Amino acid sequence: MFPIQRPRRLRSHPQLRRMVRETILTTNDLIYPLFAVPGNGIAKEVKSMPGVYQLSVDKIVEEAKEVYDLGIPAIILFGIPEDKDADATGAWHDCGIVQKAATAVKESVPDLIVIADTCLCEYTSHGHCGYLQVGDLTGRVLNDPTLELLQKTAVSQAKAGADIIAPSGMMDGFVYAIRTALDEAGFQDTPILSYAAKYASAYYGPFRDAAESTPQFGDRRTYQMDPGNSREAIKEIELDIAEGADMLMVKPALAYMDIIWRVKEASNLPVAAYNVSGEYSMIKAAALNGWIDEERVVMETLTGFKRAGADLILTYHAKDAARWLR
């Protein structure tokens, strides 16, 4: 009698569905982003990202302990300096905010992996990811001089205790430059998680509130990728692999699952997906209005990233997801 094949047989019981589930999300897949600011006792909520805070170093340490206790293996640190300048001094200074936070976390929670976002936009007075030509109001970053700043930043972060360096500025040759600098400084064993395919995306809006990194003029389209391109992503990851990247990242994630899949198929390196601020804020806003079931939508979204090929997921939902997974 037709049909002989009845796929619904394997969906008939919760335990049976668990047994045949193809993609399993665990806390091991999660990385939690944190925003460090100067001062003490500061926990300032980001208006466009409910539940996400700018935190002073003491509060970062408290958060890191909670993250570790939840079974999340890693955090990634972003910094908002007290002062900004054209040389992005706060990014590479030994007393920079990310450096202070990294040291404090490693002293308090030594087994938690600390990833340092290695970029300059939060630290420059103009909000772009490197040096600009004097008088240039287009935002066209000078590539090769900026590499020197990224080298100084990466070495400083590694000295402060960062376990992984994650360059995100999309400068040509940044992986090779950073790898060379780390090796020469004695950090041969410090891995690089490259933002290999980072798109010029409107989904970053709330992050720029959190990191206070909105460009003062122009945009980032001369260095971040065009959203319509997928073959270019493969070109970018191939270059980063050749330059010494240990892991690759696709950013954003939600509208770029096809890119996650293509990157996973094209390489044998671990692939990270960044579930960015705009993706987070859309879900939070809908949930706060009672329009969606937040837990189900979050878990379905994160599972989708993993199904697409992500080995690691950077997400502001990480703590909630870890609790729900328990």
Residue with tokens 């999309």, as numbered in its chain:
170
Catalytic residue among 59, 84, 106, 198: 198
Give pLDDT, residue 1. Answer: 67
- In the numeric block, the tokens 């959203």 are attached to 227
Q: How far apart are CA 165 and CA 113, in angstroms?
A: 11
Q: Which two tokens stand for residue 3?
A: 């049909």
What is the rounded distance in angstroms from the CA atom of residue 8 to the CA atom of residue 5? Answer: 9
Collapsing DSSP to helix, strand or coil, 147 comes out as helix
What are the φ/ψ torsions at residue 277 (nearest 5 degrees)? Answer: -60, -45
Cis peptide before 14 (omega within 30 of 0): no
What are the backbone dihedrals phi and psi of residue 55, each rounded to the nearest 5 degrees, phi first? -130, 140
Question: Which two tokens mark 262?
Answer: 């293509």
> Exposed (0-12), middle (13-18) or buried (19+): which is 300, by Cβ within 10 Å?
exposed
The reply to whether 95 sits in an annotated binding site is no
Low-confidence ranges of the chain (pLDDT < 70): 1, 211-212, 217-218
Do the annotations mark residue 236 as ligand-binding? yes
Contact between residue 200 and residue 219 where contact means Cβ atoms under 8 Å apart: yes
Q: What is the pLDDT of residue 211?
A: 63
* Active-site entry in 84, 251, 264, 319: 251
Listed residue (33, 29, 73) closest to 301, CA to CA? 29
Verify whether residue 284 is a known catalytic residue.
no
pTM: 0.95
pLDDT at 9: 92
Q: Is 262 annotated as a binding residue?
A: no
208 is in an annotated binding site: yes
Q: Is the dihedral of CA 106, 123, 199, 300 positive or negative?
A: positive
- Which amino acid is it at 246? D
Map tokens 């065009």 to a residue.
226
| Torsion sign across C-alpha atoms 121, 125, 126, 130 | negative
> What domains sit in the chain, N to C, each tagged with a CATH number?
25-325 (3.20.20.70)
Q: Give residue 222's pLDDT.
A: 84
Residue range 269-307, pLDDT digits in tens: 999 999 999 999 999 999 999 999 999 999 999 999 999
Q: How far, in Å, CA of 87 to CA of 128, rounded?
A: 11
- Closest C-alpha among 146, 249, 244 to residue 193: 249
Nearest-5° angle of CA 236, CA 269, CA 318? 95
pLDDT of residue 133: 81
Phi and psi of 218, rounded to 5°?
Answer: 65, -160
Among candidate residues 193, 191, 200, the one with its CA nearest the CA of residue 312: 193
Contacts of 159 (CB under 8 A, 6+ apart): 94, 99, 185
**Would residue 198 show up in a list of annotated catalytic residues for this protein?**
yes
Length in residues, the chain: 326
Which pLDDT belongs to residue 139? 72
- What are the DSSP E strand ranges found in the chain? 30-37, 43-45, 53-56, 74-79, 113-118, 164-167, 193-198, 247-251, 271-275, 312-315
Does 280 carry a binding-site annotation? Answer: no
